[in-house]
Amino acid sequence: MGVYAETNFTIECESENVAKNVLKVLQKKTKDSDENENTFGTNLSIDNNIVYGYEDSARIQNLEYRCKEIWEAIKNIEGVVYFNAPFMIEDEGLYYSK
């Protein structure tokens, strides 16, 4: 059984032109998906020099894989500053008792 996780990620770029290029790359990657039907960035939008997107999965490991693939697709684009994908996780946490 997996642990559900989601992220609203941001990609900061040096300029709006770089952000448009990043958006274009991610839109193509999402359109094509991979052999397991994974997408790589949904609800994509751009605001000046920042690209916003969303990903979720019923398994946190799959979300980690998707985020890694997004980074691999954009990391060599000149002008990409950072990719930030904080995870929100559905989990029961820990419980201790004596």
- Mean pLDDT, residues 51-59: 91
Q: At 11, which amino acid appears?
A: I
Beta carbons of 63 and 6 less than 8 angstroms apart: yes
Contact status, residue 71 vs residue 83, Cβ threshold 8 Å: yes
CATH code of 5-89, in short, is 3.30.70.600
Q: Which of these ranges, 16-20, 34-38, 89-93, has the smallest mean pLDDT?
A: 34-38
Which alpha helices (H) appear in 10-93, and where do they start and end? 16-32, 60-74
Q: Answer yes or no: is pLDDT of 97 > 60.
A: no
Tokens of 1: 């059984």
Domain parsing of the chain, residue ranges? 5-89
Stretch 58-85: mean pLDDT? 92
Percentage of the chain modeled with pLDDT above 90: 53
